[in-house]
Chains A and B, each alone.
Chain A
Amino acid sequence: MATTTAAYNPDKTSFSLMPALSLWRREVVRFYRNMSRVVGVVASPLLFWIVIGAGFGNNFHNAATGTRQNYLDFFFPGALMMIVLFTSVFAMMSLIEDRNEGFLLTVLVAPVHRSVIVLGKVLGGTTLATLQGVLFLVIAPFLGVHFGPLQFVLVVVDIFLCSFALTSLGFMIAWPMDSTSGFHAIINLFLIPMWLLSGSLFPVASASPWMAFLMRINPMTYGTDALRGLLFPASAPEFSLTHSFAILTVIALVLFVMAFVVANRRSTKAAA
């Protein structure tokens, strides 16, 4: 005798993105309930603003073009990229917290396709990183960086693609881990070189051949270059916008699929 109405029929199944949406929402809710994280997100662009505005000189010799260029033009996209890079990857620390706090168990015993779980988590991290990047963008006009609505939209797309790729990378690294300190150690191995070799500090054209090769296989190079081209049209980007976006999309998808493969493995070892 059933005393309640059955809201769920296990025989009627359909693929749904609802669980991804729910995981995404959880990620965002947990973020804004954690005041220190909110403060961090708002304060770090402000700090950058002060440091960049006050600290850097006016001139910077661009070896690639041989022209003299305001250093800000060169540094701003790099700073924005660094913020996106760190926020994206560290957002996936929440995966390790989920594992340690036990919440991941709930997700793992639910009949949800593993790709949908990865999508929900990655989109959550991507949203936070994009938000942080856009906040940084808002202060750009005060630094003397001006752009139109179309550029703004394209920059957001660029930031989104980079965040998605990097959050997927973070997911892949965080999945098998059970300690945040181990995650830090591994992530630093990736993050610093990725940023140094992203064209944030020096352009690809001015790098030695082997370093230029590393820069060309680094997704962040394309993100930074697209950003520079959009915000500073005069700076002559090294790749066309479509070229950069195409490569970023492919890398984002490849990293996402890899994250899915990592999460989809079932083994004879305890899953959580």
Chain B
Amino acid sequence: MIHIANLRHQYGERAALNGVSFDVRRAEIFGLLGPNGSGKTTMFRILSTLMLPTSGAAEILGHDVTRDPDGVRRRIGVVFQSRSIDVKLSAEENLFHVGHLFGITGAPLKKRVAEMLERVSLADRAKDLAESFSGGMQRRLELAKGLLHHPQVLLLDEPTTGLDPGARRDLWQYLALLRDQEGVTILVTTHLMEEAEKCDRLAILSHGNLVGLGTPSELRSEIGGDVILLDAREPQQLAAAIHQRFQIDATVLDDGRVRMERAGGHRFVPDLVEAFPGEIDSVSVSKPTLEDVFIRRTGHRFWNEDAAGVEQRASASAKKKKH
């Protein structure tokens, strides 16, 4: 459905995509997971025909984004991260307008607009100006707009930005419905692990490189067993000592914690603590997550790729301390 081959993109000197290749299959929800600045929005812009790639090829249903943009545009629905509806028009007017852009007119358009408004639960607000809508309602209108012309492929850029948890859940349920009932192929970019978990398959991007491709469980299964994280006063020394004593890879993360993978982690912890009395402040054992996949492939934590990430991590760890 979507074929991407050695796609590269440069913004001046800065490389946003370094030769990424993957294929998206029919009727699957495919996630592009990566922190800010990893290249996923660049990929989205290229696929939605807003920007030409520097080199490489991207095809949607056999139509090349560079050579046949209109062929691509006729077949894709696009939901942008930012607002793209006209808030000075009513919900209904927005959809009529999009219909006209696609050459749909008259009774079929009327029927389709009513149908889409019904589906996104905006039928009772059809005549209201979009500027009077809440963020969640505007997002639903964006979705209705992207789906109006029955696209076979739907592209969404961080679609849950600014939505509350309930609205996020609704959106994901609706995406699953589209995939199951209408066979729509969905490509969605996200920086949220819990959303990535809901995708059928994932491509993980880091600094413009593809660092992982597969189903969430496939990706997680490459981690050998459980993940153990230690807080210590002398993390470098401790990591070296653990490596020497137990012959396992212990790495110091950029937040100063020591990380290792080990099958049956809970049985290993007592040995570990007894081996280094007084040197370990706290221990945590967990099942591998997609973030562990990211750490394993890139050597650093997901949120450390850019400044915005550092902030988010800081607020996340602040929350943890309260517990």
Question: Are A111 and B150 in contact, with the CB atoms below 8 A?
Answer: no
What residue of chain A has the Cβ atom nearest to residue B42's Cβ?
A: A270
* Contact mask for chain A residues 7-19; partner B; CB cutoff 8 A; 1 contact, 0 none: 1101001101011
Residues of A within 8 A of B53 (CB): 268
Query: CB < 8 Å: which of A6, A26, A111, A272 contacts B86?
Result: A26
Residue A179, interface by CB 8 Å: no
Question: Are B98 and A106 in contact, with the CB atoms below 8 A?
Answer: yes
Residue A184, interface by CB 8 Å: no
Question: Are B51 and A271 in contact, with the CB atoms below 8 A?
Answer: yes
Q: Contacts A19-B103, A109-B48 known; A7 to B78 CB distance under 8 Å?
A: no
Residues of A within 8 A of B104 (CB): 7-8
CB distance from A108 to the nearest CB of B (A): 6
Which stretch from A97-105, A165-173, A203-211, A233-241 is at the chain B interface? A97-105
Question: Are B100 and A21 in contact, with the CB atoms below 8 A?
Answer: yes
Chain B contact residue count (CB 8 A cutoff): 51
Query: CB < 8 Å: which of A19, A34, A106, A269 contacts B85?
Result: A106
Residue A189, interface by CB 8 Å: no
Residue B9, interface by CB 8 Å: yes
CB distance from A181 to the nearest CB of B (A): 21
CB distance from A147 to the nearest CB of B (A): 37
Query: CB < 8 Å: which of A7, A16, A268 contacts B112?
Result: A7
What residue of chain A has the Cβ atom nearest to residue B53's Cβ?
A: A268
Residue B102, interface by CB 8 Å: yes
Question: Are A1 and B182 in contact, with the CB atoms below 8 A?
Answer: yes
Query: CB < 8 Å: which of B73, B93, B182 contacts A111?
Result: B73
What residue of chain A has the Cβ atom nearest to residue B96's Cβ?
A: A22
Question: Are A102 and B51 in contact, with the CB atoms below 8 A?
Answer: no
Question: Are A101 and B83 in contact, with the CB atoms below 8 A?
Answer: yes
What residue of chain B has the Cβ atom nearest to residue A268's Cβ?
A: B52
CB distance from B169 to the nearest CB of A (A): 22
Residues of B within 8 A of A268 (CB): 9-10, 51-54
Residue B87, interface by CB 8 Å: yes
Q: Contacts A7-B109, A109-B49 known; A101 to B101 CB distance under 8 Å?
A: no
* Contact mask for chain A residues 89-122; partner B; CB cutoff 8 A; 1 contact, 0 none: 0000000000001110111111111000000000
Query: CB < 8 Å: which of A19, A21, A29 contacts B89?
Result: A29
Q: What's the Cα separation between A1 and B71 when bound, in Å?
A: 24
CB distance from A267 to the nearest CB of B (A): 6
Question: Are B51 and A8 in contact, with the CB atoms below 8 A?
Answer: no
Query: CB < 8 Å: which of B75, B97, B99 contacts A10?
Result: B75
Q: Which residues 36-55 in B have Cβ within 8 Å of A in the complex?
A: 45, 48-54
Q: Contacts A6-B150, A13-B74, A267-B52 known; A105 to B101 CB distance under 8 Å?
A: no
Question: Are A110 and B109 in contact, with the CB atoms below 8 A?
Answer: no
CB distance from A26 to the nearest CB of B (A): 6
Q: What's the Cα separation between A107 and B73 when bound, in Å?
A: 11
Q: What's the Cα separation between A16 and B105 when bound, in Å?
A: 11
What residue of chain B has the Cβ atom nearest to residue A10's Cβ?
A: B74
CB distance from A51 to the nearest CB of B (A): 33
Residue B108, interface by CB 8 Å: yes
* Contact mask for chain B residues 106-117; partner A; CB cutoff 8 A; 1 contact, 0 none: 001101100100
Q: Contacts A19-B101, A29-B93, A268-B54 known; A7 to B80 CB distance under 8 Å?
A: no
Q: What's the Cα separation between A113 and B52 when bound, in Å?
A: 17
Query: CB < 8 Å: which of A7, A102, A113 contacts B84?
Result: A102
Q: What's the Cα separation between A266 and B103 when bound, in Å?
A: 23
Residue B181, interface by CB 8 Å: yes
Question: Are A102 and B82 in contact, with the CB atoms below 8 A?
Answer: yes
Question: Are A110 and B181 in contact, with the CB atoms below 8 A?
Answer: no
What residue of chain A has the Cβ atom nearest to residue B66's Cβ?
A: A266
Query: CB < 8 Å: which of A1, A6, A107 contacts B101?
Result: A107
Q: Contacts A103-B86, A105-B80 known; A16 to B103 CB distance under 8 Å?
A: yes
**Can you report 17 A-B residue pairs in the complex whose CB atoms are below 8 A from each other?**
A7-B104, A7-B150, A10-B75, A19-B101, A26-B97, A30-B89, A33-B88, A34-B88, A103-B85, A105-B78, A106-B84, A106-B85, A106-B145, A108-B50, A111-B73, A268-B10, A271-B51
Interface residues of B (CB under 8 A from A): 9-11, 45, 48-54, 69-71, 73-76, 78, 80, 82-89, 93, 96-105, 108-109, 111-112, 115, 145, 149-150, 152, 181-183
